[in-house]
Chains A and B, each alone.
Chain A
Amino acid sequence: MNLRRLLRPARSRLLFLILVVPAILVACNEGDPQSTFGTSGPIADAQADLFIFIFWIAVVVFVLVEGALIYSIIRFRRRGSDDSLPVQVHGNTKLEVIWTIVPVFILVAIAIPTIQVIYEQREPPTDQGPVLEIKVRAHQWWWEIEYPGEDVVTANEIRIPVGQWVNFTLNSDDVIHSFWVPKLAGKVDIIPGDVRQLAMRADEVGVFFGQCAEFCGEAHAKMRFRVRAEEPEQFQDWLDSMRRPPVELVSADAIAGQTLFAQNCSSCHSTNTWQGPNARNERTRLAGLRLAFLDNFKDTVVIPAPNLTHFATRDTLGAGLIELNETNLTRWITDPDDVKEGNRMKDLATPYRNNSLTSDDVRQLTAYLLELKPVAADAVIEPDSGGGGGGSATERGAATFAANCSGCHSTGDNRVVGPGLAGLSSRGDDAYIRESIVEPNAVVVDGFPASVMPPGFGATLSADELNDLIAYLKSL
């Protein structure tokens, strides 16, 4: 047999690993938006530096050991048909002690900086200015984003100010997920029923790709998100814009789409968290939907869904999946499964279940969603725009209902999370309705768990709003 011929591939493999791999490592560029190299913040920088340090140690060990292996294979191969016995060596204690001890020193050299970095990255530094708190709640398969104290709620796209430490408080609504923005920080798993913290800082302006890194079910591959690091002023402008009312709808399609959305989508998606009370209530609303889902997961029709307030200002659709534009949105609404198999909208939303979605509906919904953006900063804002100031008590009540109640209650007979409210006046008087709103657990309709309806409406609704709401409910 020709040993030289046999051994050649081994040598070229070695060459590949020694020369090509480091070359690839160096050659990372903007074409690799999720690379763990070319990092943009101190956390990911330190992690990458540590990796490079260990990597070169590994390369040295690799070259020495594989080199020795290949050398001894070539040198000690049997030549011809030499059947004599080689020297029978049984061992060498001194040598064996050496190759037990030397790796220990190498590993200590790796362990020391490792443990240093572990403790350095435990929490955000306290001496580098204020820390921005952001709450992230993972769902199958999207991200709920909340800026506590700012009354801003959004989904799937996180904006942060550049140069400022951000502390993410991570929580899960269903199963285990993992929060990972490679260019900013290594991942942290998100455990349901528990809270994890992850601090990071972006040192460059830019859009950083993130993705769920723990297998979380059917659409795990499509649970992505973006982190956009902006100059602090821009970031503040964005926060402000998220609290401004939406522009007035102009196209007829959009206006029709608004109605369609209220009838078919608003049980799960909210678009009104630009109002402070709604933003503060959003978590409770979604928690109610989750409890309703858990209560009846086999044939539920509701589930927590991404907040769509000022949706048109986003870059992407479907949890960082595709660019947000009319074509993609049309495709998404027409058949969500076509874009993201496994997503729950196709299974749960009425128009899909009834197969009643027309292309007109799709066009109108698309038009509506693409007009969901805040008014300009200098636009005159009605002080009372939230409740819809004018009109009759019933009309004002309808607006209050849409903003606060429609997520869980329909105005018909069908149960969403809570019972349908048609014909409510026949079930009780004003005082009963008022009590049901302010103290939801006082009287609970059979078959509905006591804890579902949030108890806070007595505080968030003004007396006038409450009166208008009752007037409206009685009119149903």
Chain B
Amino acid sequence: MTTIAFPKLISRPTSYTGLWSWIATVDHKRIGTLYGITAFLYFLIAGVEALIIRGQLREAESDLISPEIFNQLFTMHGTTMIFLVVMPMSAAFFNWMIPLMIGARDVAFPRLNAFSYWAFLFGSIFLNLSFFLGGAPNAGWFGYANLTGSVYSPGDGLTFWALGLLILGVASLAASFNFVVTILNMRAPGMSLMRMPVFVWMSLVTSILMALAMPVIAVALIQLSLDRVLDTNFFNPAAGGDPVLWQHLFWLFGHPEVYILILPAMGIVSEVLPVYSRKPLFGYAAVVFAGAVIGFMGWFVWSHHMFTVGLGPAANAAFTISTMLIAVPTGVKIFNWMGTIWGGKLRLDTAMLFSLGFIAMFIIGGLSGITHASPPTDAQQQDTYYIVAHFHYVLFGGSILGLFAGGYYWWPKMTGKRLGETLGKWHFWVMLVGFNVTFGPMHWLGLNGMPRRISTYAEGMGWETSNAIATFGAMLIAVSVLIFIINIIRTIASKQEAEDDPWDGRTLEWSIPSPPPAYNFARIPQVKSLDDFWYQKHPELLHDERGEEPESDEPVVEETHGGGSIHLPGMSYYPIVVALGMVIGIVGFMEIRVDIPGTDLVFPWLSAVGIAIGMYGVMGWSLEPVSEEGGGH
């Protein structure tokens, strides 16, 4: 190995406790926890934003907040929920569960994993700093050009938005590369692709979608940033630029993004339902295949977000057909889940309730989706509250409920304690009712002609009652989240200790202690079937179902490399250094002006600093001795 003289400003972290051990951690479980905590904090922030929005809309002609603030809030609510809540919360579960479910000791690239988290954290903080530095982004999470250009959005908000999302995009790309390699390369012996848990499958599809979709939005964001900062012409109609190009790029990313948001939750539900039904997943292959097909077909439906743009009847008809087709695999999943609970012995614990709530709500969201898969009806529904209702049924009723199901399901594995069931059930029912009271009336509001993204509305439009109900429902949701927080606090304070396998689980993560040790598996498991752990516990089923004889307790093959001891990747400070350098570099490139009174600071030198830090980090990273590279630990 090489020995280049490299200034060692940073000595290698050694302690496994304390703040620095978290900053330097490369343990997928700790990184998962960091993702989870951060995402939950942003969930609270986005929730507060939503409550203020609902407060403003509670009655006609309300002036609780100004239109400008309203526009900032709905932009940041959408951006936060998508990029800072659902995606990182899914990443939290990916981080925690993928290695445990495939029988690995860590992800393929632990330091890259840490880098992803820090880049995500810094990017998200940068994005939210805009609130205090001249105004948050205010052009919607979709940021349609040319409103986002410097002529019609002269402030810095949208530069924060474009650059912040770029940084988050880099973080997502790094994470997705890592998970694809981990899942394809690091499975325990015997775990063929078709023996992987559905959650791992959905993580794989999601990661592939991320790896391929994030570049498209990144390019659009680069073009937008260049338009804003260097006066290029990408989306400038006066120079012949076409704002519709932004929409194509955005939705070419945006529709796969929808599946990036929902597939992890579908994976979670596919794990929870069999466990609490005490039955295998109905039609495992079909569920897996449906997920993969959704991920593939998700690339061919983007223009259904643009039915009213005027692309012409041929384009609209074609995208109608592709959009309707994608409903088929989605339906397959729902029917297979119902086949799973049919004939089972359902334990209606909180995780199961959230999963069943997911199915019930997702059906509504799917059906309302069919109504605007038809361009003529979409012409009336596009950009109205009907759409707001639809995608909240899919993304809140779907993704968020699914993620809560995962939270309740895996909490004992992650922390060693079970979340309280009584408060959990209160949480579920208050949230489910509040959710429906909030978003149910929005269907009617949209059909009654209320456009989205309006900061106020006139009296006499017939919108007051439904809006008042929706605002009341939003408060119910807030109460349910408070119940959840109380539940967490009480659980942490309690003295209980969860069993290793509290739910009679089916997958490998339940075969190890709760919480798992740093090395996860003392012995790398040998996988002989789908739901291997379940069949270890119920060997008689192998015979009943498949005519196989339960195998005698043959000695498990020891992990071979390293002669018995377990190698864990060493902690490292370099991921956070590289992330910091990258963020500073990107931010500095684009002349972000920080409005300090009396000055007009421009930081062209900042990029140089960032690049220097980043280069230092990359060199340190590549020269630091590691043991994770080269595969298979």
Contact = CB atoms under 8 A, between A and B. Distances in A.
A88 B343 CA distance: 9
B66 A341 contact: yes
Contact of B375 (A90, A103, A114): A114
B562 to A, nearest CB: 38
Given A58-B367, A58-B370, A76-B345, A100 B449 contact: no
A84 interface: yes
A54 B377 contact: yes
Contact of B331 (A62, A77, A103): A103
Nearest to A210: B449
Interface string A112-134: 00110111011000000000000
Contacts of A269: none
A89 B377 contact: no
Contacts of A90: 280, 282-284, 545
A140 B152 CA distance: 9
Q: Taking chain B's interface residues, is the majority helix, strand, or loop, or is none over half, making it mixed?
A: helix
B420 interface: no
Contacts of A88: 279-280, 541, 544-545
Given A36-B380, A85-B538, A96 B336 contact: yes
B320 A111 contact: yes
A149 interface: no
B68 interface: yes
A36 to B, nearest CB: 4
A6 B338 contact: no
Contacts of B66: 341
A190 to B, nearest CB: 9
A48 interface: yes
B139 A121 contact: no
A175 B146 contact: yes
B368 A58 contact: yes
Interface in A344-389: none
B324 interface: yes
Contacts of A193: 237-238, 240-243
A84 B378 CA distance: 50
Nearest to A62: B367
Interface in B512-551: 538, 541, 544-545
A176 B379 contact: no
Nearest to B436: A13
B572 interface: no
Contacts, number: 315
Given A51-B371, A68-B338, A88-B545, A175 B244 contact: no
A404 interface: no
A176 B455 CA distance: 18
Given A51-B377, A61-B367, A77-B348, A34 B67 contact: no
A81 to B, nearest CB: 10
A192 B243 contact: yes
A24 interface: yes
B374 A103 contact: no
A87 B339 contact: no
A132 B344 CA distance: 65
A23 B103 CA distance: 54
Interface residues of B, number: 106
B356 interface: yes
A448 interface: no
B631 interface: no
Interface in B165-212: none
B346 A176 contact: no
B367 A118 contact: no
Q: Which interface class (under 10, 10 to 19, 20 to 34, 35 or more) fits A?
A: 35 or more
Given A111-B320, A191-B243, A192-B146, A86 B279 contact: yes
B237 to A, nearest CB: 3
A69 B383 contact: no
Contacts of B342: 72, 76
Contacts of B436: 13, 16
Q: Taking chain A's interface residues, is the majority helix, strand, or loop, or is none over half, making it mixed?
A: mixed
A212 B443 CA distance: 19
Interface stretch (A180-188, A326-334, A407-415, A416-424): A180-188
Nearest to A12: B433
Given A54-B371, A191-B310, A221-B456, A297 B154 contact: yes
Interface in A1-50: 1, 3, 6, 9-10, 13, 16-17, 21, 24-25, 28, 31-37, 44, 46-48, 50
Interface stretch (B114-122, B252-260, B357-365): B357-365
Given A86-B279, A103-B331, A21 B443 contact: yes
Nearest to B311: A189
A298 B308 contact: no
B443 A221 contact: no
A434 interface: no
Contact of A92 (B285, B339, B444, B457): B339
Interface in B133-174: 138-140, 144, 146-147, 151-154
B223 interface: no
B576 interface: no
Given A6-B429, A88-B279, A111 B324 contact: yes
Nearest to B540: A85
A194 B363 CA distance: 39
Given A91-B339, A191-B244, A178 B383 contact: yes
B286 A34 contact: no
5 contacts: A96-B339, A107-B324, A110-B373, A111-B374, A114-B376
Interface of B: 66-68, 71, 138-140, 144, 146-147, 151-154, 237-238, 240-244, 277-280, 282-286, 308-310, 313, 316-317, 320-321, 324-325, 327-328, 331-332, 334-336, 338-339, 341-348, 353, 356, 359-360, 363-364, 367-368, 370-371, 373-384, 425, 429, 432-433, 436, 440, 443-444, 447-458, 460-462, 538, 541, 544-545
Given A6-B425, A110-B370, 20 more contacts: A9-B433, A28-B448, A32-B449, A37-B447, A50-B376, A72-B341, A76-B341, A89-B282, A90-B545, A100-B328, A114-B375, A117-B374, A175-B144, A187-B380, A217-B152, A218-B67, A220-B67, A220-B71, A224-B458, A294-B151
Interface of A: 1, 3, 6, 9-10, 13, 16-17, 21, 24-25, 28, 31-37, 44, 46-48, 50-51, 54-55, 57-58, 61-62, 65-66, 68-70, 72-73, 76-78, 82, 84-92, 95-96, 99-100, 103-104, 107, 110-111, 114-115, 117-119, 121-122, 140, 174-176, 178, 180, 182, 185-189, 191-194, 196, 209, 211-222, 224, 294, 297-298, 321, 341-342
